[in-house]
Amino acid sequence: MQNELKQTKKRVFSGTRATGRLHLGNYLGAVKGYIELQNREDLECIYMAVDLHTITTPYDQKTLKQATRDIIMDYLAAGLDPEKSIITVQSLVPEHVYLAYLFSSVVSVAQMSHLPTFKDKVKQHPDNVTMALLNYPVLMAADILLYNTNLVPAGLDQEPHLEIAREIARKFNTRFGTNFPLPKRFETKGTYVPSLTGEGKMSKSVSGSSIELMDDLDTIKKKLAKVPTDGGRGEKVPATGGVANLLKMVELFQGEAKRQEAETAYVNNGLRYGDLKASLAEAIFAELQPIQARRKELEKNPDYVERVITDGARKAREIAKATLTEIMEKVGLSS
């Protein structure tokens, strides 16, 4: 393993793009996992706002910096602790880009252009099919492997990218004698949070699909009111669509027993969606309220947030530089 002398703990890396405020999918599928892992003594965790990934799709350069601060503040408000984790912004550690370039020498254009995640983005932004977009998974592999990461807390949608990271690690290990670990995804209970529209996953890019971490009770109620439902009664509980997605949210916020209760009502006397949505909204808000209160405090203290980012970048760079120096030597470059 690179940095063998320095590295005493297994490493964790994850990141979130600064494309909008965090929603329940990001929170349940990723951030809750970050928090769980930062509390384990045997792990060293690094969490970033990944702004270099953010610029692979159209963005506003005037608001990007604030958007990265918003991600960091949401992280801190949700419970990430700079005493336990390295928390920073990806572009402050330029070694990520360097390693991504080295990795790009073992990845074929054909493979990257056939990835479903790439094809989706091409459909969404046909005028923005750039080299940076094609290189997205390679940069992500660099994020992860630069820290010899073992565990990546991330949602199910990131699995294809993790597979690429493992493939690059294997190729590099075989070809250059590096010793990258093969990173595994760490899965939370909310690894796939469905969309409020009834179709697909909760996502920033689909309007009406998400509840944001900072939504108030009234907004949550209004958003849940729009989830498409049915008559509330039938032989079998639907496995897909609005009803299935609502029940998944009940399971995630109110527990398995509450979900069972709702399913039993559906196949017997009938399920009253008004009641179900009202109690679900309360349960979601109860979890979000303390996060929102902490976030308000953080907004009053931008200097503290900047300090977290600067300290985090310094610690991350120390590790990153050491790995990169070793890799450059193995690849045959002058380091």
Amino acid letter, residue 11: R
Q: Which stretch binds ligand TYM (CB under 6 A): 78-86, 123-131, 155-163, 327-335?
A: 155-163
Half-sphere exposure of 305 (CA within 13 A, CB side): 23
Q: Does 50 bind ligand TYM (CB under 6 A)?
A: yes
Q: Does 47 bind ligand TYM (CB under 6 A)?
A: no
Residue from 201, 248, 258, 330 touching ligand TYM (CB under 6 A): that is: 201
Q: Does 144 bind ligand TYM (CB under 6 A)?
A: yes
**In contact, 182 and 169? CB cutoff 8 Å:** yes
Bridge-based pairing state of the strands 10-16 and 149-153: parallel
Q: Does 25 bind ligand TYM (CB under 6 A)?
A: yes
Q: How far apart are the first and last CA of the chain?
A: 19
**In contact, 98 and 135? CB cutoff 8 Å:** no
Report which of 17, 12, 16 is spatially closest to residue 36, judged by C-alpha positions.
Answer: 12
Dihedral sign (CA 5, 8, 14, 18): negative
121 versus 259: smaller Cβ distance to ligand TYM: 121
Residue from 2, 11, 12, 26 touching ligand TYM (CB under 6 A): that is: 26
Q: Does 151 bind ligand TYM (CB under 6 A)?
A: no
Q: What are phi and psi of 251, to 5 degrees?
A: -60, -45
Q: Which stretch binds ligand TYM (CB under 6 A): 121-129, 149-157, 236-244, 325-333?
A: 149-157
Q: What are phi and psi of 203, to 5 degrees?
A: -150, 150
25 versus 82: smaller Cβ distance to ligand TYM: 25
Q: How many Å is the Cα radius of gyration of the chain? A: 21
Hunting for tokens 């989830």 — which residue is that? Answer: 227
Size of the site for ligand TYM (CB under 6 A): 27
Q: Which stretch binds ligand TYM (CB under 6 A): 13-21, 261-269, 277-285, 317-325?
A: 13-21
Residue from 53, 69, 259, 295 touching ligand TYM (CB under 6 A): that is: 53
| Cβ-defined contacts of 221-225 (< 8 Å, 24+) | 221/277, 221/278, 221/281, 223/196, 224/196, 224/277, 224/280, 224/281, 225/277
Q: Is residue 11 within a helix (H) or strand (E), and if so which, with residue range? A: strand 10-16
Q: Does 178 bind ligand TYM (CB under 6 A)?
A: no
| Residue with the CB atom nearest ligand TYM in the bound state | 29
Q: Does 29 bind ligand TYM (CB under 6 A)?
A: yes
Q: Does 158 bind ligand TYM (CB under 6 A)?
A: yes
Q: Which stretch binds ligand TYM (CB under 6 A): 14-22, 100-108, 170-178, 308-316?
A: 14-22
Question: Helix, strand, coil: what percent of the chain each, to 5?
Answer: 55, 10, 35
Residue 259: CB atoms within 10 Å = 18
Residue from 2, 12, 14, 180 touching ligand TYM (CB under 6 A): that is: 14
Q: Does 180 bind ligand TYM (CB under 6 A)?
A: no
Q: Does 44 bind ligand TYM (CB under 6 A)?
A: no
Residue 190: CB atoms within 10 Å = 25
Residue from 11, 12, 16, 67 touching ligand TYM (CB under 6 A): that is: 16
37 vs 261: CA distance, rounded Å: 32
- Within 181-200, which residues bind ligand TYM (CB under 6 A)? 190-193
Binding site for ligand TYM (CB under 6 A): 13-17, 25-26, 29-30, 50, 53, 140, 143-144, 152, 154-155, 157-158, 161, 190-193, 201-203
